[in-house]
Amino acid sequence: MRDVTLSCSFCGKSNNDVGVMFTERTTCICDECVAFCVEVIEERKAACPMIRRLDAWLAAQADEKSRRDKVAEAEFNRGYVIACCNLVNLFDQPVYAFDLLAALGVTKQQVRAMDLAGYDEAALRKIEQGSGGDSPYRTVRSRRL
Ligand SMILES: [Zn+2]
């Protein structure tokens, strides 16, 4: 293998003097120059009120999406827990229900937070006793990996 020395097209440093050298055909840029460019871009963004407002709006949108995703996941999991209770009542399959919840990564704490005890306390207790006693549902999953 032949040693190749590359030089940053912007500052001239060799790849032996920098951490990472990015190359594209005949052009190279070192990690220090990339960091400098990012710094300049961030300074310009910070100086522009429109970009600051846009960044704030994007951050708010990301927070809202994250909040909505969590609500949707909780609703999905709640539906699955109810379906698992029905699985226990219709087919007496608490271990299978336990495994389904484990595959979804649903924990007993999440199930308790769903406040379904009034819905079907007996089925929930059977599922919990289906495997692992007091351990969270997800331990079954990790045991299998
Ligand atoms: Zn450079």
How does pLDDT run across 59-97, given as a tens digit for each residue? 999 999 999 999 999 899 999 999 999 989 999 888 888
Contact, 110 vs 130, CB < 8 A? no
Q: Which residues participate in the annotated binding site?
A: 8, 11, 30, 33
Q: Diameter of the chain by CA atoms?
A: 73
Report the separation in Å between the CA atom of 6 and the middle of ligand 1, taken as the mean of its atom positions: 11
Ligand 1 geometric centre to CA of 36 (Å): 9
Q: Cα(43) to centroid of ligand 1, in Å?
A: 19
Q: Tell me the torsion sign for CA atoms 100, 117, 114, 110.
A: negative
pLDDT band at 131 (very low <50, low <70, confident <90, very high): low
Cross-strand bridge partners of residue 30: 21
**Known binding-site positions for Zn(2+):** 8, 11, 30, 33
